[in-house]
Structure formats: structure tokens, C-alpha cells
Chains A and B, each alone.
Chain A
Amino acid sequence: MPHSSFLHVLLVEDDVAFHSTFERVFARLGGEWKISAYQTGGAALQAIQADGLNFELALVDIGLPDITGVEVIARLRQRFADLPILVTTVFSGEETFLSAIRAGARGYLLKGDSDTSLALSIEQIMRGEYPVSPALARYLFKLAGPQFVPYASGGVKLSPRELELLKWLAMGESYASCSEKMHISFSTVQTHIRNMYRKLDVNNQRQAIHKAQSSGLLNP
């Protein structure tokens, strides 16, 4: 829920050419957007220290000149627990993308896509529809498989329904056809995916453990 009349976007991107690309894309989307753009991770992290600051969306380039995008995402996630953070990249390698997700990202934008395609992706994410590519679904499926010990070695414990959903997504099915095949609503598919992202998010886990410890749940 926006706290002010405009929607505040944090853009961390070293190439100014993309600054204008995103300005065009947000202009297409309609509504009032305010873009706070930074060319280095350091500058962005310094800026978010300010009190009373709030964002509706963060776009973080994975390859920054000073620190890695993953590090920026992790710090952002610590500061803003529910902020949708997207990785922007020319193309995604599984490992890099997964580490971004574990740091707290909720999806990625391919910078090479057309303005229309980018605008559509941002719209979906603002609606709470996070994308899962077949490659990522395969990777998550492997990660949640029996050869990984949940949590202990970075494994993720997913529910049977979530695993089933991942299986369909890995086969290239769209969310719509997944909801059809699994006899669940489209919004349930979305919920499953949001839950999966949350389970993957190490920062959220850390916060949860911290919360549990401070409330005495984990102490004997």
C-alpha cells in the first residue's frame, strides 16, 4: 500500500542508458511514479538509511561497479521486509539469479526485452504475480529434492503442492495452465509462488529465527 500519492521506485543501475529506458517504461504504466536512481550500490545503500523512506518497488542491476547486486538486495531486504525487489540483468544465469533470490529478490527483468514486455512484467509484479521460469523451477525442484537436507545445507523444505507446481512450471506450463491442471485458482498459484520465494529468502529466515529467539520460542 503506497503511503503517499506517488509510487516510489528505487533503481540501482550503473548504466544511465537504462535509466531512461525505465523512465519510458514507467511512463507507459500510468499512475505517478517517482524514480530514485543510483549508479552504485554504495550510493543506494547510503540513501536508504534516511528515516521515513519507503519504496513500492526496487530494481537492482546484478553487475554493479562497486559491490554486487546480491549484496545490495540483501541490505534492502533487511531494511524493507516486504518490498518487491527485482533483479535487472542482460541475461540470467541460474546460480547468480538464485543467489539474488536467496538474498531477497522476487523476480528478474531482462534488460534486452522490449519496453512493452518490461512494462507488462512490472505490472504483473506489482499485482503480486512473481515469475518463475522453467529453468528456475527445475533448479528449485532439485534444491527441494531428497538429496538436500532442509535448511542445514541450504536446502528448502517445500510442501507437496508447491513441489507439484514446480514440476509443472519446469515443464514450461503457464500459471494459468498450472491452476487448471492442479484444480486450484489462479490466486492460489500466486500464493504458492509467493510462499516459495519467502521460503527461499535467507534474510526472511534469519529474521524469523531472530524473531523466534527474541520471543523465547527457541530457548529452552
Chain B
Amino acid sequence: MSGTGRTGIDAKSLLDIARHTLLADIVPVLSGEARFKALMVANAMAIAAREVHYGPVKAPGNDAAIVAAIRAGLHDGDTIMARRLQDLAQAKCRISSKTVEKAD
């Protein structure tokens, strides 16, 4: 596991506990603009923690080449490409979205 070698605290658990502290102890005493910004910070930390946990999303291939082929119609009706792009969207959602729905 990453980060366990020296301290036993990996990046994800550190972000998780920092976020928990922010939400439990700091946000309740804030109001207005400061509270809104603190909630955005908590949101950003959750996204970063999920990216650390799942690892960065891999591109399905050479993006520029795929785009050129899609525009040229070479992937029209291509169910394999559709599946790859669905999986890509799902993998990105797993990191970016608060609510992750099950894949179809």
C-alpha cells in the first residue's frame, strides 16, 4: 500500500480524516460565504481521496486518433467502442461524482 512504509498513514486515510475534521468541527461554526467555500474544500478532498484510492483514469487509447475516427464515421454503430467509452465515463464518475450509480 502506498505511504504505509514510514508512517502507516496512507494519503487516502489522511485526506479522509482531514475532511471528517473539516466537516465535523469547522464547517458547523462557519456561515455564509466561508461555509460555502469550506464545503467546496471538503468536496475537493473527497474527489482527491477517491482518485488516490482508485488510481488515475486510463485513457481508452490515443484520444486524438479516436476523436478523428469518430468524426470520420469509422466508429458508427461500433458497440465495442461504445462499451469502452461507457466504461471510461463510469471510471471518471467513480472519482468525480458524489453519487455513483451502478453501471447499466
Partners in one complex: no
* Residues in chain B within 8 A of chain A (CB atoms): none
* Residues in chain A within 8 A of chain B (CB atoms): none
